Amino acid sequence: MELFAAMERDDYEELLFCQDKASGLKAIIAIHDTTLGPALGGTRMWTYASEEEAIVDALRLAKGMTYKNAISGLNLGGGKTVIIGDPKKDKNEAMLRAFGRYIQGLNGRYITAEDVGTTEEDMNIIYQETDYVTGTSPSYGSSGNPSPATAYGVYMGMKAAAKVAFGSDLLEGKTVAVQGVGNVAYTLCKYLHDEGAQLIVTDINKEAVNRAVEAFGATAVDPADIVGVNCDIYAPCALGATINDVSLPLLKAKVVAGAANNQLKEPRHGDILHQMGIVYAPDYVINAGGVINIADELNGYNKERALKQVAKIYDSITRVLEISSTSGIPSYAAADHLAQERIASIQNSRSTFLQNGNHALSRRNLRG
Ligand SMILES: NC(=O)C1=CN([C@@H]2O[C@H](COP(=O)(O)OP(=O)(O)OC[C@H]3O[C@@H](n4cnc5c(N)ncnc54)[C@H](O)[C@@H]3O)[C@@H](O)[C@H]2O)C=CC1
Ligand SMILES: CC(C)CC(=O)C(=O)O
């Protein structure tokens, strides 16, 4: 893989490879863009088939965070980490602490949190080594695991998409097919069940499926069958790239709205969804609840204030779908325009001189 070419394509700032032989740490921190502020994005631990697959995932996820944070109105840039390994077998305290020291070395350019394969307890361990970690336990004054806030945002965004597709945002009586019933999707299923939606679920983890069947009376199907089931709404809530050439012809839903990052394998799959008349709630808009919640931590966490912000995902999805409809462009493209516009407007605003610690004048004053 040509690393610099890959970074140049989407103008990444930095790619950091972190290795610690004793603990087994092999991590990749990708920082895409810090125009709006420090890069904030979670740490994913996964058993990648190859180092290249891990790098590509880190890069794609980091760029997604830049756009997510921008469109959500946050003063944060985009970054993400992947740790190569099986979170059930390979994770250990020394590894997380070694990783924490790498984050500390970035001196605030990157702030981490949970993603697939990492937990609130892991963030508490990382916190032993760095200040630049969020999603630690509430006892540390933090907002805790971001998944419930993410689920709430997905629920609100799904309602907004349903309004466009079905003329009403009521989900009662609608059938929702959920791919992956992990941390986010379990809470999402609770919201949907409470509103009277019917659930069809799948997961590669049997326990996760059983939990949703028992709690919400969901119907379970095999992972290979979920995309083709008869349903009104399809909610991808596992890993990325599941909207692709294989899944698209099978899709029967009128709406795609779920928590997973990077749902479209390639942008052209978003074009196909648009041509098929399927209402697609762009992933990084609908799943921003976790980062919106966590961003509130940086000002001293207030749950009520944070969840009010998360609820606005309903308006963000409505706006994106309106632009898509009036401009005749796919919804993912409408979202990209809005995110790019915000970054450009900050980048292009007049840069008036402000004396700060980094300027030569201040350094001279400090030296006396
Ligand atoms: N946790 C959060 O706050 C946020 C999560 N996301 C994204 O949402 C998605 C889910 O995240 P979490 O719920 O936190 O992760 P999780 O690890 O708790 O849940 C993912 C679930 O998907 C299942 N899965 C994996 N591959 C599958 C497949 N091929 N078919 C069916 N099931 C499969 C896993 O067994 C697991 O139960 C991820 O893409 C994540 O990046 C996005 C924004 C925030
Ligand atoms: C705070 C995290 C939930 C942010 C993140 O990594 C994401 O939104 O994917």
CA dist 173 and 179 (Å) reads 19
What residues does 133 pair with on adjacent strands? Answer: 112
Q: Which ligand is nearest to the CA of 118?
A: 1
For residues 45 and 116, the answer to whether their CB atoms sit within 8 Å is: yes
- The CATH superfamily of 3-65+76-139 is Leucine Dehydrogenase, chain A, domain 1 (3.40.50.10860)
CA dist 11 and 78 (Å) reads 12
Q: How far is the CA of 352 from the centre of ligand 2 (A)?
A: 33
CA dist 194 and 160 (Å) reads 17
CA dist 64 and 84 (Å) reads 20
CA dist 275 and 200 (Å) reads 26
Q: How far is the CA of 141 from the centre of ligand 1 (A)?
A: 26
Q: Which ligand is nearest to the CA of 151?
A: 1
Written as one letter, the residue type at 90 is D
- pLDDT, residue 364, reads 65
CA dist 261 and 78 (Å) reads 13
Looking from the CA of 152 toward its CB, the CA atoms found within 13 Å total 18
Pocket test for ligand 1, best of 65, 112, 115 (most atoms within 8 A of CB): 115
- pLDDT, residue 355, reads 77
Ligand 1 atom nearest residue 262's Cα: 39
Residues with CB under 6 A from ligand 2: 41-42, 68, 113, 115, 135, 146, 261, 287, 290-291, 294
Q: How far is the CA of 184 from the centre of ligand 2 (A)?
A: 11
For residues 61 and 44, the answer to whether their CB atoms sit within 8 Å is: yes
- pLDDT, residue 353, reads 83
Q: How far is the CA of 344 from the centre of ligand 1 (A)?
A: 31
Q: Which protein residue's CA is at the shortest distance from atom 37 of ligand 1?
A: 182
Q: For residue 323, give the 3-state DSSP assignment.
A: helix
Q: What is the CATH code of the structural domain delimited by 147-334? A: 3.40.50.720
Annotated binding site for NAD(+): 180-185
Ligand 2 atom nearest residue 113's Cα: 1
CA dist 151 and 183 (Å) reads 9
CA dist 193 and 201 (Å) reads 12
Q: Which protein residue's CA is at the shortest distance from atom 17 of ligand 1?
A: 116
Ligand 1 atom nearest residue 239's Cα: 39
Which region holds residue 350: left if phi is over 0, alpha if psi is between -120 and 50, else beta? beta
Find, among 191, 175, 198, the residue nearest to 259 by Cα: 191
The tens-digit pLDDT sequence of the chain (368 residues) is 999 999 999 999 999 999 999 999 999 999 999 999 999 999 999 999 999 999 999 999 999 999 999 999 999 999 999 999 999 999 999 999 999 999 999 999 999 999 999 999 999 999 999 999 999 999 998 999 999 999 999 999 999 999 999 999 999 999 999 999 999 999 999 999 999 999 999 999 999 999 999 999 999 999 999 999 999 999 999 999 999 999 999 999 999 999 999 999 999 999 999 999 999 999 999 999 999 999 999 888 999 999 999 999 999 999 999 999 999 999 999 999 999 999 999 999 988 887 776 676 666 665 55
| Both structure tokens of 209 | 């499926």
Q: How far is the CA of 154 from the centre of ligand 2 (A)?
A: 13
For residues 127 and 92, the answer to whether their CB atoms sit within 8 Å is: no
| Both structure tokens of 290 | 């976790």
- 80 a catalytic residue: yes
CA dist 80 and 48 (Å) reads 16
| Distance between start and end Cα atoms, the chain | 50
Q: Which protein residue's CA is at the shortest distance from atom 6 of ligand 2?
A: 42
Looking from the CA of 289 toward its CB, the CA atoms found within 13 Å total 33
Residues with CB under 6 A from ligand 1: 114-116, 146-147, 150, 179-180, 182-185, 202-205, 208, 223, 237-239, 259-261, 287, 290
- pLDDT, residue 356, reads 73
Q: Which ligand is nearest to the CA of 116?
A: 1
Q: What is the pTM of this model?
A: 0.96
- Domain ranges in the chain are 3-65+76-139, 147-334
- pLDDT, residue 351, reads 82
* Interface confidence: ipTM more than 0.90: yes
For residues 255 and 162, the answer to whether their CB atoms sit within 8 Å is: yes
CA dist 126 and 112 (Å) reads 9
3-65+76-139 and 147-334: identical CATH topology:
yes
Catalytic residue among 80, 91, 174, 254: 80
Q: Which ligand is nearest to the CA of 148?
A: 1
